[in-house]
Amino acid sequence: MILGTREFIDRVIALVDKSGQRYDLLKKTGVVMTANPELVVNMVGIEYKKTPKDIVTTGERKNEARNVAIYIIRKHCELSNREIAEMFGGLKESAISKVVKRMEQKLRINKELERRINKLVSNVKA
């Protein structure tokens, strides 16, 4: 298991890749930790005072908790856009991509949101 910041883990993986091992093998053996999507939804629900059902059910488009959960799951879980879309009430795969893109834009200007997401990520990967 590799513990540390995302940058540190990426550096270690790059070194391992140079030695002939593959990142896929590292993931399969549990060396690279990924977050559990259900745990992400639960933790985001606690942070935003919403139920997991409120987060995964389709509805209001500007549901920040839902967007944060989608963003974290896409970035830190080993799920495809299709799998995430199914988890969130049958959204289209392109909707997942759009949410992630919008969240990346928001994170560039909203440092409080960035801190909040980093806190959530550290909690779900602990």
Whether residues 70 and 109 fall in one domain: yes
Over range 98-107, report the average pLDDT.
95
Whether residues 75 and 95 fall in one domain: yes
Residue 19 has pLDDT above 50, yes or no: no
Over range 102-123, report the average pLDDT.
93
Whether residues 64 and 95 fall in one domain: yes
Whether residues 74 and 112 fall in one domain: yes
CATH number at residue 101: 1.10.1750.10
Whether residues 2 and 63 fall in one domain: no
Q: What is the reported pLDDT for 58?
A: 73
Whether residues 13 and 69 fall in one domain: no
The 10 Å Cβ neighbour count of residue 80 is 12
The 10 Å Cβ neighbour count of residue 23 is 14
pLDDT tier for residue 35 given thresholds of 50, 70 and 90: confident
pTM over 0.85: no
Q: What is the reported pLDDT for 103?
A: 95
Domain that holds residue 11: 1-33
Instruction: Please give the tally of structural domains in the chain.
Output: 2
Whether residues 112 and 52 fall in one domain: yes
pLDDT, greater one: 78 or 71? 71
Torsion of CA 11, 14, 18, 24, to 10 degrees: 140
Whether residues 80 and 42 fall in one domain: yes
Whether residues 24 and 53 fall in one domain: no
Whether residues 59 and 114 fall in one domain: yes
Whether residues 70 and 93 fall in one domain: yes
